[in-house]
Amino acid sequence: MSYDYKIMKEIVLGKIKIGSHRPLVIIAGPCVIEDLELTLEIATELKRISTRLRLPLIFKSSYDKANRSSLTAYRGVGLKKGLEILGRVREKTGLPVISDIHCREEVKPAARVLDALQIPAFLCRQTDLLLEAGKTGLPVNVKKGQFLAPEDMKEVARKIASTGNEKILLTERGTFFGYHNLVVDFRSLIIMGGLGYPVFFDATHSVQTPGEHGNRSGGHREFIPGLARAAAALGVAGLYLEVHPEPDKSPCDGPNIFPLRKLPKLLSEVMAIDRLVKTNLKRMKQ
């Protein structure tokens, strides 16, 4: 397997074209759906930012956070209500929507509403779930498990591709480094790029400290901008950023969520890096 980027498969998601040679694409939104009003507020602001910056953006939020540290932690509004809210976001803003799926039974109802399906990191090797997601024909974004080497994602992608669906996105979100800590090995982005599918970098979950506080995780959001800029410098297809107007009030993953008000500045920075890198790569290949 080559450890150099090659021209990856181009994935089309609505009007958005995703690939290593395409401009940066953003997946962004609150970690979990709290209610319709706040979700629409965040989605509307993301649409405004996307339009102003001319930046392709996919809205993400989870209707259920099934892998919370504590039994009593907030999980979301559930499948039915969550999909209704995501459908409203799509209708009101025109943004494509993506959300996590956790079991085979969720796949069909989710596929009727969502533009793409996301496989959470802890479920990235669940064969039946991957196959069911692949059979929908929708783009499938797989978060690399914190316990996997990047080259292990080859078999993950092969499971989905076996259904005839090669609309596959791979997302790096950090690797376990001892207890309660994640590190980012940026070689991972290059290695996964060698598999031929567009690679995203999750700059928010990568600064998480899983289970650090016993019944909840911690995080260090101050590192998000630096990691996002570094990933853009490697020429990734996209960035994944969870955002919230008041991260410390988010019922899920607050310490590693990026403040919505700071997002335009960060996106402007990473877009400038992305343009420079991809323009130079294009020139070198001519």
Query: Is 58's pLDDT higher than 80?
Result: yes
Counting beta carbons within 10 angstroms of the beta carbon of residue 144, is it exposed (0 to 12), middle (13 to 18) or buried (19 or more)? buried
CA distance 107 to 147: 24
User: pTM here?
Assistant: 0.94
- The answer to the question of residue 2 being in a domain is no
- The answer to the question of residue 181 being in a domain is yes
- The answer to the question of residue 5 being in a domain is no
What average pLDDT does range 21-45 have in this prediction?
97
What average pLDDT does range 123-136 have in this prediction?
98
- The answer to the question of residue 1 being in a domain is no
Proportion of the chain above pLDDT 90, given as a percent: 82
- The answer to the question of residue 3 being in a domain is no
- Please name the helix (run of DSSP H) or strand (run of DSSP E) that holds residue 237, with its range, or none: none
Asked whether 239 and 56 are in contact (CB, 8 A), the reply is no
pLDDT tens-digit map of 143-182: 999 999 999 999 999 999 999 999 999 999 999 998 989 9
Counting beta carbons within 10 angstroms of the beta carbon of residue 284, is it exposed (0 to 12), middle (13 to 18) or buried (19 or more)? exposed
What average pLDDT does range 69-75 have in this prediction?
80
- The answer to the question of residue 210 being in a domain is yes
Supply the range of the domain harboring residue 48: 11-285
Q: Which residues contact 265 (CB under 8 A, 6 or more apart)?
A: none
Total domains, the chain: 1
- The answer to the question of residue 254 being in a domain is yes
CATH number for the domain that contains residue 184: 3.20.20.70
- The answer to the question of residue 263 being in a domain is yes
